[in-house]
Structure 1
Amino acid sequence: MSGLLALLDDVAGIAKVAAASIDDVAVGAAKASAKAAGAVIDDAAVTPKYVHGFEAKRELPIIWKIAKGSIKNKLIILLPAALLLANFAPWLISPLLMLGGAYLCFEGAEKIYHVLFPHGPQHEIDSEEQGDPAHLEEKKAAGAIKTDFILSAEIMTIILSGIPDTNFWMEAATLAVAGVGITVAVYGSVALIVKMDDVGLAMYANGDLSLTRFIGRGLVRGMPYFMKFLTIVGTAAMLWVGGSIVIHGMEELGFGWLGHLIHDWAAIAGHMVPEAWVGFVEWTAKAAMDGVFGVALGLCLIPVATGVIGPLLGLFSKDDAQ
């Protein structure tokens, strides 16, 4: 009997350790995922365009196809790469983070540039879009998965940098939980966004109450404005997160003057308000200055990307096509 009680006590102890480990993984995944906010919001803002123009019944299957590709990107390719990086070349994490942050700055600044200096209207229609819908669907999904790979690489690297030093399996579990959780959150949100106008249309057409029809009409009319708002928030988040990543990386590489200057200016702004608002004002001021730096860096990268990197990638694409 005493042996059975000892065994039960050991089992209870193992269960407590396992529960604590699961809790640590969940907490670590949540904290690390929060740092990837800019890339996550951008992912949610970018994806809906890939289902534009398809029949309503094909929207959710396409999103599901992209979501499965995103999970494969994160778990099969990027998670092992991140673990190898963390255990064998941790010195590369900061430069890669800075590269990802610079990419976020470039994307955000490019969106602002296109708003300020829009291109002329596109009158030509891609001939492939008039062909087989199934082929077009596969092409759009493949393009979305490729875009997701870039964003997922940024997200997983940012998550990796936010995980405290633990053992190999804890890092792997935290990365996996965070990666899957972010994918579910992003593509679940995308599915809701894409179908919201259909829900509103159904409420307006079939609602028995005037309130139901009013809400439905509001959803249909409001979704285009919501998408614009989401794009603005996503752009701001990209510039803020990208700028802060690059500035933090500069500090780690020994170039901390800009980070210290921003910190000092944020502290000055905090001293100008009542004590209850100090923390909020300092955080807002720092985020705004990180974002301004992100805009400046992104604008500097636009000619580099369009004049050097883009043509080089185009040459490789032509070689592959031949």
Structure 2
Amino acid sequence: MALLRRRGYALTPDVLGALCVGGSMREDDVRWAVASAGDLTLVHDLVVAREGIPRLDEIRARAAGHESAASAYIGMTQSFVRTLVACAPFIRSVWIAGSLASGGFRDTDDVDLNLVVDDGHRHLAYVAVNTLGMLHALQHRSKPVDDLTRRPIAPRLMTANLILERRQTRPLDRVDAGMAFELMVSEPVYGLDVYREIVEANPALLEHFPQLSRRPAPFLIEPAPRARLPRWLFPAWADGAARALGGAAWRYMQWTRRHRPEALARVAFVRETMRPYTLFDTAGD
């Protein structure tokens, strides 16, 4: 529950039971645990922290609107990933992350993507996601936005949340509950074999969420998309130039948010949860 609380979501007892640290719990057991806990309560069939009650209307609105808002965006994301994989042959796995995967999605949100890429291609992947994401967003300029998704030309729609190189996953530097939860609530849409290899290569993740070993992938694209460009077009040495370009674009976006402290605080929070895998933190990232 603490992991969900940090993200501002609330779930029904049955869904929360499937995401419990240490293994799944039956819905009745979750309800009993909530009734026994002094810091949790059940409101409108949502498990919420008592400290979050002042934000209850917002939390309820997110939970209630998730299914209707998310349905159209799942198909949109699958279509985008097909294009991304076709244009970027160094991408090995893509997972839906954030609110679209774990609940509480609303149509002002963007779609967070976690990627696993070939070694030496992290920044190339970042540039690919954002370039194709901008072209894609131009088709959806009427999309509702908030302080996080508002951009000068087109809304922020498809974004990179976490980008890992293959070598960074064998093993992961982080196998704590937070990283295990990130994998647990992500929804693989491409490269399920790579996702499963990461879980197998990092058995400590299963100590937090044994459910990872049998996690389904309901949004997996089948048949799997195929790259249409040759890999030699994207040599690893080009990652340095991509880092400079991507870093400049990232800093510009933060500059556009300079008068929106809540948006900057949200970006800082997300980056903190992703360390040490965040881009543009140090000279060597």
Fold shared, TM-score > 0.5 on shorter chain: no
- Could you say which TM-score interval applies, normalised by the shorter chain? under 0.3
Normalised TM-score (structure 2): 0.25
Structure with max Cα Rg: 1
Point out the structure with the larger strand share: 2
Point out the structure with the larger helix share: 1
Normalised TM-score (structure 1): 0.23
